[in-house]
Amino acid sequence: MPSPTDPASAGRTPAGIDPRGPRFGAAITATLLLITFVLAIAGADAAAFWLLVAATLLFAWGAFAGVRRHPYGLLFAKLVRPRLAAPAELEDPRPPTFAQGVGFAVGLAGVLLSLLGVEYAVPIAAAIAFFAAFLNAAFDYCLGCQIYLLLARARIVPRT
């Protein structure tokens, strides 16, 4: 088997992940972001702000450490995956990891704009991130993954 530094392995897709893992994480994320949005609309600004900070940190974890090392990915691998049949096929981890980066950017924008005094920054950021997480959790449609694929076709990010 070639080593990761072997030229023969250059350009290969990293080992795949169970595609149900990111959906599991998206369901938890959508719930957290829905609570954040409701709290922000209800006037619990401090609680909503700190929940958005927590969600943003979780997005950062997934974006920089990868979806396999994300707390939701670890929870899925430890508690959920052993109870399921093997997936029909594995998924490239790069698009879901990129999607975590998109979520991080949205959350960070909401946090920073809120700190700058923009009144509706938290509920708008929470709503945008919730929409994307809900699409993934409910319909298996990952917006961040689709952005990754568009960027890969344009040769801006590595192809899968």
Mean pLDDT to the nearest integer, 72-81:
95
Token pair listed for 31 = 């719930």
Mean pLDDT to the nearest integer, 6-13:
45
Distant-in-sequence, close-in-space partners of 83: CB < 8 Å, separation ≥ 6 = none
pLDDT-derived band at 5 (thresholds 50, 70, 90) equals: very low
Q: How much is the pLDDT for 160? A: 57
**Residue ranges of E strands in 49-153:** none
Q: How much is the pLDDT for 52? A: 98
Give the model confidence (pLDDT) of 17-37 as tens digits. 999 999 999 999 999 999 999
Q: How much is the pLDDT for 81? A: 95
| Domain locations in the chain as residue ranges | 18-153
Give the model confidence (pLDDT) of 78-110 as tens digits. 999 999 999 999 999 999 999 999 999 999 999
pLDDT-derived band at 2 (thresholds 50, 70, 90) equals: very low
**Which phi and psi angles does 17 have, rounded to 5°?**
-120, 160
Which residue carries 């409701």 as its tokens? Answer: 38
Q: Could you tell me if 124 and 110 are in contact, meaning their C-beta atoms sit under 8 angstroms apart?
A: yes
Q: How many CA atoms lie within 13 A of 72 on its CB side?
A: 28
pLDDT-derived band at 6 (thresholds 50, 70, 90) equals: very low
Give the model confidence (pLDDT) of 111-160 as tens digits. 999 999 999 999 999 999 999 999 999 999 999 999 999 999 999 988 75
List the beta bridge partners of residue 91. 17
Q: How much is the pLDDT for 158? A: 83
**Residue ranges of E strands in 22-67:** none
